[in-house]
Structure 1
Amino acid sequence: MKIIKYLFFLILIVIIGGAIYFATKDGSFNITESKVVNAPAEVIYNKVKDFKSWQEWGPWMEEDADIEVTYAEKTEGEGASYSWTSNKMGDGSMKTVKVIPNKEIDQVITFNTPVGDSDSEVTWRFEPTEVPGQTKVSWGMKGEQSLMEKVFMAFQDEDMETGIRQMYEKGLNNLDSVVMTEMKKFEISVDGITQYSGGFYMYNTSAARQSDIGTKMPPMMGQVMGFMQQNNIPMSGKPFTIYNSVDQTNGTVIFSTAVPVKDRVITPQGSPVLSGYMEEGVALKTTLKGNYDNIPAAYTKAQEYAIANNLQIDPNTPMFEVYVTNPDEVANPADYITEIYMPVISPVNEQEL
């Protein structure tokens, strides 16, 4: 009996000593993982703000394919929440408590354990870098481990911070991949024969290799816009580009960047920005939804349509493309809208117009 008594006291001493050890052990943690993503902050924020989007890139989905997720009625913005149950990762929930669109998201994550719930702070930060269209994404978690959590983690192969860092790193890489895929999406639709209206426009002209048009066009368009602002000339439509002459053999083109205006404008002698007029006409219209680097594919599809439908492209009337969306207002290139007009000389039935 004395032996049992001594063993009891020994076990009691070990338990008390262990409790004191773990109680005094620092259980605080503050973890942040960051990644630079080649995308505007708004595009990345839109993939994070709604909990329903987390299934596309969340690292825990890879850890437990059987995880069960339950969404609240509100899944984005302040007050949004969701919960989960998992045999491998435990149960828990998350709630969004503060949002500054495209800049910050603050959340509270709750882990349900047999000895009670444990809350931690989760933060998201979206910071533009010095490179246009690039964003530094930071994902953090801060909190305090409970006594039982400190005991449990003491017997694991890796500490809590290491586990969270690895998961956050994987999640940010997944998020990067999802965003890049999203931004590359595009759709091309050949709308058929349409009548387009003419009118006055302000423009400047340059020659370039076809591969250099994308580089030369923005500053040229900026010059036209700047001239119009300086002289209080209002726009009367969407900006467009006219392809005056295309040399397929040498891969060169003479093109004009243009902005519609209501009336003819007399420009000063020597001005690089001039006033022009487009006659109304009939064209094969094609619409691209997606980044501008998909424009060549849109032209190819339009030409295939023209051949299949016996349409003759007018070699004496320049093709032009209209930029329906403003890249300064639409963050995701996948949402850019470009209308391509290829004038035709084929006879057209009035019912087709």
Structure 2
Amino acid sequence: MKILKYLLFLFLIAIIGFSVYVTTQPDEYRVERSRLINAPLSMVYDHINDYSKWTHWSPWMEKEEDATLNFSDPSFGEEATYSWKGDELGEGSMTTIYSARDSILQKINFIKPYESEADVFWNLEKTKTGIQVSWGMEGNLGFMEKAFLVFQGNSMEAIIAPDYERGLLNLDHYLHEEMAKYNIEFPGITQYGGGYSVYQTTAFRISEADDQIAKMTEEVSSYLERENIGAAGPPFAVIEKWDLENDAALIALHIPVRDQLTMPSGSTIFSGYTPPGEYYKAVLTGDHKNLKEVYEKAYFNLEKLDYMVPEERSGFEVFVKGPKESENPAEWVTEVYIPFAKKDPSN
């Protein structure tokens, strides 16, 4: 009996000691992880703000793909919610309290394996090399939650941080996969209607093409705005020279207008006319870096049709949808018009 009392006494001492140790643990916690993601701010924000898009990158979906998920309608913006239920993930829900382009605040409620709530926060900082994305959680711990962590020899940092790191990595990879998507179509021989335009011509390195074309587009567009002249179509670039060996290009950036214009003396913007004609047409949906593949395949197709590309005629690219319309390069649309002629049988 004395041994039983002694053991009971030791057990009580252990319980008291454990309780005292638990009460000395921090009542608050804050866990935060960051990653630099080289993607447009609009894309990063959209895939965090919209709960339905979390399925593409969530670290928890990797743990239990068949967990039950429910989303509010709409699933984005303030007051949007989503809930989950699974054997591995437990049960809970999340609600967006505040949403802006540079920060998002959410409230997370856990039901199983134990009830608790916390604040989830996102900060998006635009830098020269991408978006610095910070994802964190902070909250208070009750006695039972602290006891649970002590009993497991665990911490909120050890529980949350690996998932947040994995989630940011997944988000980074997914956005890059989305931006890299592209498609090439070949409508083939088509008639281009021609028309008047205003344009600016610039020589530059091929490696600077996107930046230079964007700059010329802005300057020609600004001229039309100042003169209160409406554009009659999307901008297009006439390729007057493209020297890969010397990394040199000469491009005329045109914006169509309805009527022929008389330009003031000394202007760097000129008035032009593109005559109607037949061209071999290709359409790229995606990043401009894929244009090299467009030309390679188009030239191959022309070769099979027994056509050649005459040096006296210039091809051009129509920027139907570009960076001004979408920050996601996978959504850009470029129409490529390549001049062609029948091969000379004597050659």
TM-score by length of 2: 0.87
| Structure 2 residue corresponding to 1:286, chosen from 279, 282, 296 | 282
Instruction: Give the superposition deviation at 1:338.
Output: 0.6
Q: Check if 1:100 corresponds to 2:99.
A: yes
Partners in 2 of 1:67 and 1:313 — Cα distance? 53
Q: Which residue of the partner structure matches residue 163 of structure 2?
A: 167
* 2:321 match: secondary structure: coil
User: Is residue 2:136 matched to residue 1:140?
Assistant: yes
- The 2-side partners of 1:18 and 1:52 are apart by 43
Closer, same or farther: CA 188–101 of 1 in aligned 2, 3 Å: farther
The CA distance in 2 between the partners of 1:248 and 1:298, in whole Å, is 16
Q: How far 1:346 sits from its partner (Å)? A: 5.0
Aligned to 1:80: 81
What is the aligned partner in structure 2 of residue 22 from structure 1?
22
Task: Quote the residue 1:351 is aligned against.
Answer: none
Contact 1:241 1:320 in 2 (8 A): yes
2:216 paired residue number: 220
Q: 2:48 matched to 1:42?
A: no
Sort the Cα spacing of 1:31 and 1:249 in 2 relative to 1 into closer, same or farther, 3 A: closer
- Residue 125 of structure 2 is matched in structure 1 by 127
8 Å CA contact retained: 2:92, 2:112: no
**2:5 is aligned with 1:5:** yes
- Please state whether the residue corresponding to 2:217 is helix, strand or coil: helix
- Against the structure 1 CA distance between its residues 169 and 7, is the aligned structure 2 distance closer, same or farther, given a 3 Å change threshold? same
Match of 1:109 in 2: 108
Unpaired stretches in structure 2, ≥5 consecutive residues: none
Alpha-carbon distance in structure 2 between the residues aligned to 1:297 and 1:67: 37
Task: State, as a whole percentage, how many aligned pairs show the same letter.
Answer: 34
Q: Distance in 2 between matches of 1:343 and 1:104?
A: 50
**d(CA) in 1 for partners of 2:142 and 2:86?**
20
Change (3 A) 1:252 1:26: closer
- Note the C-alpha offset of 1:332: 0.7
Please state whether the residue corresponding to 2:289 is helix, strand or coil.
helix
Q: 2: CA distance between counterparts of 1:79 and 1:173?
A: 24
Residue pair 1:57, 1:175 contacting (<8 A) in 2 also: yes
Q: C-alpha distance in 1, partners of 2:42/2:243?
A: 39
The two structures, once aligned, show a CA RMSD in angstroms of 2.6
- Paired with 2:247 and 2:25, the residues of 1 have a C-alpha distance of 70
Count of aligned pairs between the two proteins: 340
Structure 2 match to 1:269: 265
* SS of 2:15 mapped into structure 1: helix
Summarize deviations over 1:235-276 as a string: whole Å, max 9, x none.
Answer: 111011001244566554322011111112211111111111
Q: What pairs with 1:276-315 in structure 2 (closer than 5 Å)?
A: 276-315=272-311
**In structure 1, what is the Cα distance between the partners aligned to 2:167 and 2:135?**
9
Distance 1:178 1:310, change over 3 A: same
Residues 144/234 of structure 1: CA separation in 2 closer, same or farther (3 Å cut): same
What stretches of structure 1 of length at least 5 have no aligned partner? 348-353
